[in-house]
Amino acid sequence: MAAPRGRRARIAFSDSAAKQLEDITSEAELHALDRALVVISVDPDIGEPLPGTGPGTRLLRYTDDIEPVRVLYFVTALRTVVVVAYIEV
């Protein structure tokens, strides 16, 4: 179910994802990640479930169609998106 129109999900980062953000120095990588995070915040269910994850631990993977970026995340009960890892493709 998509977030209500005009309202985006809140994005939070795990410690490992925050560390990955600290290591990004390229404007192109920042742009790609920002684009992916906007897409996910508008529709948190856009990602595909990773194999082996059940309903209680629904880990999702979003791969952007335009930018070379992949993001692993899960959505909390309050519709906060927690980014577990940012992975450049």
- Beta-strand pair 69-75/60-63: antiparallel
SS3 51: coil
Whole-number Å distance between alpha carbons of 79 and 16: 21
The pLDDT-based confidence of 14 (bands split at 50, 70, 90) is very high
Instruction: Quote the pLDDT of residue 55.
Output: 67
Instruction: Quote the pLDDT of residue 6.
Output: 61
CA distances, 16 to each of 19, 22, 35 (Å): 5, 10, 20
Q: What pLDDT, in 10s, does the model give residues 46-72?
A: 999 988 776 666 899 999 999 889 999
Considering the entire predicted model, what is its pTM? Answer: 0.83
- Quick check: 21 pLDDT over 70? yes
